[in-house]
Amino acid sequence: MTAPGSPRRSSPGAPPGPGRRAPEELRSHQWYGTDGLRSFSHRARTRQLGYLPEEHLGKPVIAVLNTWSDINPCHAHLRERAQAVKRGVWQAGGFPLEFPVATLSETFQKPTPMLYRNLLAMETEELLRSYPVDGAVLLGGCDKTTPALLMGAASVGLPTVFVPAGPMLPGHWRGEVLGSGTDMWKYWDDKRAGLIGDCELSELESGLARSPGHCMTMGTAATLTAAAEALGVTLPGASSVPAVDSGHERMAAAAGLRSVELVHRGRGLAQLLTGEAFEDAVTTVLGLGGSSNAVIHLIAMAGRAGVRLTLDDFDRIARRVPVLANVRPGGGPHLMEDFHFAGGLPGFLSRITDLLHLDRPTVAHDSLREQLAGAGVHNDEVIRTRDNPVAAEGGLAVLRGNLCPNGAVIKHIAAEPHLLEHTGPAVVFDDYRTMQRTINDPELGITPDHVLVLRNAGPKGGPGMPEYGMLPLPEYLLKQGVRDMVRISDARMSGTSYGTCVLHVAPESYVGGPLALVRTGDRITLDVPARTLRLEVSEEELARRAAGWEPPPERYERGYGALYNEQITQADTGCDFAFLARPGTVPDPYAG
């Protein structure tokens, strides 16, 4: 008999049975199960960690990638949720290993966490590839973590379950229910307009965000976790479970259980992340009235899965899917907790099944059809019926024209309708700091008819394409009651934002795109019904301006920023790194 804790060469895991993999079929076997020196060393070092042979040998090893940190309020609870995931893995007969990975805090990280999305994707890919793991559970939810984790995991292809962080509790202030982000913008404008003072603003600071979890509006975080569920990489209903609800911990434990089953079944991400899955994710985002940021992220995620997804796909699908989620900021007045208890994403998808590919698999079921069986909606005001939509077409539109030859996007569902067909003179700001410093200057003579233009805020110019696209209006216009104007930039905007904001203009001004050629006073025409954005300047004049344009100096001379600047692609192709987005194989490491 072998004494507890002593090394052994055989694998003591449960014998293979129906639906179970033999120990030697596991990827981790080459680290732990052979007779060579390296396996001896790996087993010895695992004893050093305090684990018995019976705890891990011959069992699926599950990597639990955790984006928790002390400065990411969206993920403040993920330290505990990782323990629930591990509990589920143990119960299913697996062996969990937690890996701390980069935390991308939308609130605090500057100039923008978008600058570091690809860094987390790289870290995710290389951790999963280089360690002895058979499957993964990914814990994220704050805006850039969802696409980053899934991009990296897709490049490896192991069986994977995503655990969304979940929305925070609704905010409260003086009898009003607040939506984080959306009401921040609203009340900040009220402060600038002189409608509220410092005391009210101080109270709002304590009432706007009341718990761990991501924004509880249909911002980027909620949009992308819903997209992940539509892709089939979460458990059913997982994307909207409130972060502090006990159901969230149960969901995390169930994800751990399921990850082990996926390893035994050999269901990797390549079987899930298909062209049909991404088309359903786009349909979901548009039907939710979701964040414009999802366009960039889904294109990048699809590219990692070997699927070609384009702006034209978004516009094509938008014309056939209605907006049914009556949730702020695109719909309203409801929040994500309302959406969850109205049926969540399964309920929402049950109303658009004719627009979905129902025979594709998910992490939880052999088909989406099976997953949605029995799903329903419990509140028709929160998740509207098809004959009473929030909007007849999807909440995003793709624009083309001489100002955006490679495309731009607008979340027209969150814009003032009278501005969707508008021609006005441009007021151009060369960078965000200049705009901040001068936007309130009456000498600029800005009127509600002007078009505010911000450039040098794109992928390279930002750098990182910050969420500058919801340009502030001049205070003197706010005091007159003006709350929206046409705004155009190569930046992004927060998914919790609203207004007539044309975003993601490609190619960006920093690399010489047409936005670099606009001058104050030029007339610009926005026509959302016609899907056009045009600078009313002759082609001859634009050619003359282009000939005189000089590229700005590079922002980074070394470090990650230099790599970013060298490899980043434009918004219309997902802002991935060129060397990561291109096709090609990467061999598994040799562990012997």
Q: Write the pLDDT tens digit of every residue in 230-287.
A: 999 999 999 999 999 999 999 999 999 999 999 999 999 999 999 999 999 999 999 9
**What pLDDT, on a 0 to 100 scale, did the predictor assign at position 13?**
39
**DSSP label at residue 553:** P
Q: pLDDT tens for residues 300-337?
A: 999 999 999 999 999 999 999 999 999 999 877 999 99
- For tokens 């969304």, the residue is 164
Helix ranges (DSSP H) in 237-292: 246-265, 269-272, 275-287
Q: What is the mean pLDDT of residues 402-428?
A: 97
Instruction: Reply yes or no on whether the pLDDT at 9 is more than 60.
Output: no
User: What is the average pLDDT value for the chain, to the nearest integer?
Assistant: 95
- Dist. CA 155–CA 152, nearest whole Å: 5
Q: pLDDT tens for residues 118-137?
A: 999 999 999 999 999 999 99
CA dihedral of 391, 394, 400, 404, whole degrees rounded to 10: 100
The answer to whether the CB of 39 falls within 8 A of the CB of 33 is yes
**What pLDDT, on a 0 to 100 scale, did the predictor assign at position 8?**
31
Peptide bond into 111 cis (omega under 30): yes
**What residues have CB less than 8 Å from 16, skipping those under 6 apart?**
22, 23
- Dist. CA 247–CA 374, nearest whole Å: 19
Q: pLDDT tens for residues 157-195?
A: 999 999 999 999 999 999 999 999 889 999 999 999 999
**What pLDDT, on a 0 to 100 scale, did the predictor assign at position 592?**
86
Instruction: Reply yes or no on whether the pLDDT at 63 is more than 70.
Output: yes
Chain centre distance of CA 379: 27
- Regarding pTM above 0.85, the answer is yes
- Dist. CA 56–CA 11, nearest whole Å: 9
Instruction: Reply yes or no on whether the pLDDT at 487 is more than 70.
Output: yes
**What pLDDT, on a 0 to 100 scale, did the predictor assign at position 237?**
98
Q: Which of 330-334, 416-420, 443-447, 584-588 comes out lowest in average pLDDT? A: 330-334
Q: What is the mean pLDDT of residues 483-494?
A: 97
**What pLDDT, on a 0 to 100 scale, did the predictor assign at position 100?**
98
HEC string of 137-196 equals: EEEECCCCHHHHHHHHHHHHCCCEEEEECCECCCEEECCEEECCCHHHHHHHHHHHCCCC
Quickly state the pLDDT bin for 18 (edges 50, 70, 90): low
The answer to whether the CB of 141 falls within 8 A of the CB of 70 is no
The kind and range of the H/E element at 53 are helix 53-56
**What pLDDT, on a 0 to 100 scale, did the predictor assign at position 181?**
87
The answer to whether the CB of 339 falls within 8 A of the CB of 326 is no
- Dist. CA 387–CA 390, nearest whole Å: 10
**What pLDDT, on a 0 to 100 scale, did the predictor assign at position 20?**
86
**What pLDDT, on a 0 to 100 scale, did the predictor assign at position 513?**
98
**What pLDDT, on a 0 to 100 scale, did the predictor assign at position 19?**
73
HEC string of 372-388 equals: HCCCCCCCCCCECCCCC
Q: What is the mean pLDDT of residues 442-461?
A: 97
Instruction: Reply yes or no on whether the pLDDT at 3 is more than 70.
Output: no
**What pLDDT, on a 0 to 100 scale, did the predictor assign at position 1?**
31
HEC string of 496-551 equals: CCCCCEEECCCCCHHHCCHHHHCCCCCEEEEECCCCEEEECCCHHHHHHHHHHCCC
Token pair of 207 as six digits? 């009432």
Of 444, 438, 441, 422, which Cα lies nearest the Cα of 527? 422
Cα–Cα separations (whole angstroms), residue 511 to 206, 243, 490, 515: 42, 41, 11, 10
Q: Calculate what percentage of the chain has a pLDDT beyond 70.
A: 97
**What pLDDT, on a 0 to 100 scale, did the predictor assign at position 4?**
34
- Dist. CA 231–CA 240, nearest whole Å: 15
